[in-house]
Structure 1
Amino acid sequence: MEASAPGHVAHVRRLVVDNLSAERLRRLGQDADRILQRIDSPAR
């Protein structure tokens, strides 16, 4: 698994990250931050 990680990351980058504008990438980061905050917060 460790050996395949660099190729996997490069492939995902080509498919996803490289196809997003700077603004869309910024918004994706904001969305990911919100999701992580919900995951890290205690259950309601």
Structure 2
Amino acid sequence: HIIQGRRLNFDEEETEEFNGMTARERRRFNAQPDDNSKIAYFEHS
């Protein structure tokens, strides 16, 4: 998961949030169609 976070250029806070997601949240996150949607997912969650 760390590799994906780096690929999306997460800042420290976003990386922490990503690593703290539950399996269900991560599935929803991974279902986002593209990187921009994935980044927006954090901004709205």
TM-score greater than 0.5 by the shorter chain: no
Give 1 or 2 for the bigger CA radius of gyration: 1
- Higher RCO (C-alpha 8 Å, min separation 6): 2
Query: TM-score per shorter chain, which class?
Result: 0.3 to 0.5
Which TM-score applies when normalising by structure 2? 0.37
